[in-house]
Amino acid sequence: MSMFSSLFDTIGETASTAFSGVVEAIRTVFAGDPETRRKVAFSVAVIALSAKMAKADGIVAPEEVRAFQEIFAIPQAEAGNVSRLYNLAKQDVAGYEAYAERVAGMCGSGHANCAMLEDVLDGLFHIAKADGVIHHKELEFIANVADIFNIDEAYFDRIMARHVHPDGINPYAVLGLAETTPFDEVKKRYRALASESHPDRLRARGVPEEFLTIANDRMAALNDAFAVIEKDRAAA
């Protein structure tokens, strides 16, 4: 039985009017399996918040589901359950703010700029740009979620720089540095971010294998940013 099937067997159809019950069910269904609990929690967070984001910008729900499945390569065996979770979240009468607060509680550390919640935000950005453009309502939605997640402004700007760059990619913004930063500090920041963004670190935080597009794209953005800065500094 798949992890989502186990979850649905427990919550039944009663979650159709209260998606928040899914979060509580995760804590009990997988109480003895913390690794699976982290994976399910992360998956549910991205699925549910992307459904709420679809309502915010008016995109047709089936298109969002397909985008989600294409970007994150959900196994065929889980596709039906992913769609069910998506529809439950879309129909829930609760606002996204209430659910985002519950998702924030999944982090466990209680500190600002939680890495697991950054992973969720990256997932939302991937969904938002699936049609080639991030609409202003989607960006406003993600920014509000980040605020609820206790992600500070500078940290969020660095996350956003990997996805939103109408005037071209700013490699310093991707690394969260000023253009006057000494190269030794640039290198130090790049190595720290690369270490934190390695797929193995995301796995440890509970990001399922199917979602590691997040890690690969983040690493590519960091590598490209550092390469541009290194080339520019060498030519100076």
Question: What pLDDT digit, counting tens, does each position of 70-111 carry?
Answer: 666 666 777 777 777 777 777 766 678 877 887 888 776 667
Mean pLDDT for the chain overall? 81
Instruction: Kindly indicate the confidence band of residue 231, based on its pLDDT and cuts at 50, 70 and 90.
Output: very high
Give the pLDDT confidence score for residue 16 in this predicted structure.
Answer: 46
How many other C-beta atoms are found inside a 10 Å radius of the C-beta of residue 63? 12
Distance of CA 86 to the CA centre of its chain: 15
Task: List Cβ<8 Å contacts ≥24 apart for 89-94.
Answer: 89/19, 89/47, 89/48, 89/49, 89/51, 89/52, 90/51, 90/52, 90/54, 90/55, 90/61, 91/16, 91/17, 92/17, 92/18, 92/19, 92/20, 93/17, 94/18, 94/19, 94/20
Taking the model in full, what pTM does it have?
0.82
The pLDDT tens digits for 134-180 are 888 889 999 999 999 999 999 999 999 999 988 889 999 999 999 99
In angstroms, the CA 72 to CA 157 distance is 24
Q: Which residue is listed with tokens 């206790």?
A: 150
- Top pLDDT among 202 and 7 is at 202
